[in-house]
């Protein structure tokens, strides 16, 4: 598969020093869109795993899910329910049938709005669970919020107990070519996060081109992001394989140049077990098995876990569950 991204020597100098002395190189970035699209079409045709292999990959997917609720009608009770589902994502008897009941399988994190962080933290603490709470911040989902307000929101979420912060960039900075401004915004957000991990949402469906996706990915990593994330889940177009390939190629290039491993999180529109496995396989192909851990790969999803548990139920019992057979998330 032919995929080309043209970068100048100035880029290598900037990324190696993990600084941003100048931005002349960014205008020379080129992404071969037809090659990326062809590769994405091939990905869709990959064979579906069966049997033991499918069950193993599905359990791996569970451990990488940021179990999410981002609704205007979220309440303490539905956040509590989500937290208990994160601790027990798969029915205990199903895990015993797979001899995985003692392997500590949980979701990777619980993701909520800042106002619900305390509810999630208190629930998980009461349950004796160390699952981290992630909070969206920085003007999620539109990013159309003054920078001072974004930074204050991040600090409040951390103060409430969030150990991970999913910020969202100002798309206008990308669309108008204000790369220095984008770098500075993300750098300040990173500082506001303190010890919390920061995932930077690029909202790729609103960036206009794959070249912009690559540029924004690089700048986000250079500004200190621990993860780069495709989408808020609120855009018309969310996680797609073409943007996934471009973002992972950026992560690979950044790792080659600096030795820093940055995580990847596709989010939005990932609803089926088959899609989850395909994303895992794509990460394995593009970045390697070392990225297939919750420390470097997450799936942002709200309804995905339900389909995965149904598929595992079918694998164990030979039939699909009735509506009352599985706990609500």
Catalytic residues: 166, 229, 265
Write out the two tokens for 33: 């869109």
Rounded CA separation 53/222 (Å): 37
The SS3 call for residue 155 is helix
Q: Token pair of 302, please?
A: 């709200």
DSSP string for 270-295: --SHHHHHHHHHHHHHHT-GGG-STT
Nearest partner of 275 among 254, 251, 299, 249, judged by Cα: 299
CB neighbours (10 Å) of residue 307?
Answer: 18
| Tokens describing residue 282 | 């794509």
Give the 3-state secondary structure of residue 120: helix
C-alpha–C-alpha distance, residues 212 and 229, integer Å: 14
Nearest to 87 by CA among 57, 145, 127: 127
- What tokens does 311 get? 């598929």
Residue 167 parent element (H or E): strand 164-168
From the CB of residue 15, how many other CB atoms can be counted at a distance below 10 Å?
Answer: 21
């Amino acid at each position: 598969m032919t995929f080309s991204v043209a970068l100048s020597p100035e880029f290598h100098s900037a990324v190696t020093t993990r600084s941003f002395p100048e931005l002349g190189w960014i205008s020379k970035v080129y992404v071969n869109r037809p090659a990326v699209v062809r590769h994405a079409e091939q990905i869709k045709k990959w064979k579906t795993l069966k049997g033991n292999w499918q069950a193993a990959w599905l359990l791996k997917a569970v451990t990488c899910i940021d179990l999410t609720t981002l609704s205007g009608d979220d309440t303490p009770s539905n956040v509590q329910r989500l937290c208990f589902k994160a601790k027990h994502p798969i029915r205990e008897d199903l895990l015993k049938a797979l001899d995985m009941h003692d392997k500590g399988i949980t979701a990777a994190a619980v993701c909520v709005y800042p106002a619900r962080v305390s509810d999630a933290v208190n629930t998980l603490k009461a349950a004796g669970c160390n699952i981290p709470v992630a909070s969206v911040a920085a003007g999620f989902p539109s990013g159309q919020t003054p920078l001072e307000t974004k930074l204050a929101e991040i600090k409040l979420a951390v103060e409430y107990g969030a150990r991970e912060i999913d910020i969202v960039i100002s798309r206008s900075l990308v669309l108008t070519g204000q790369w220095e401004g984008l770098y500075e915004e993300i750098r300040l957000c990173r500082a506001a996060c303190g010890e919390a991990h920061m995932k930077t949402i690029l909202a790729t469906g609103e960036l206009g081109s794959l070249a912009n996706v690559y540029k924004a990915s690089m700048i986000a990593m250079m500004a200190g992001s621990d993860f780069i994330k495709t989408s808020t889940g609120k855009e018309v177009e969310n996680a797609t394989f073409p943007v996934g390939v471009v973002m992972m190629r950026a992560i690979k290039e950044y790792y080659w140049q600096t030795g820093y491993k940055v995580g990847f999180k596709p989010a939005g529109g990932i609803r089926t077990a088959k899609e989850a496995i395909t994303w895992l396989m794509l990460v394995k192909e593009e970045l390697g098995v070392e990225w297939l851990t919750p420390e470097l790969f997450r799936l942002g999803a709200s309804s995905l876990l339900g389909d995965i548990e149904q598929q595992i139920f079918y694998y164990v019992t030979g039939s699909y569950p009735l509506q009352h057979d599985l706990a609500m998330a």
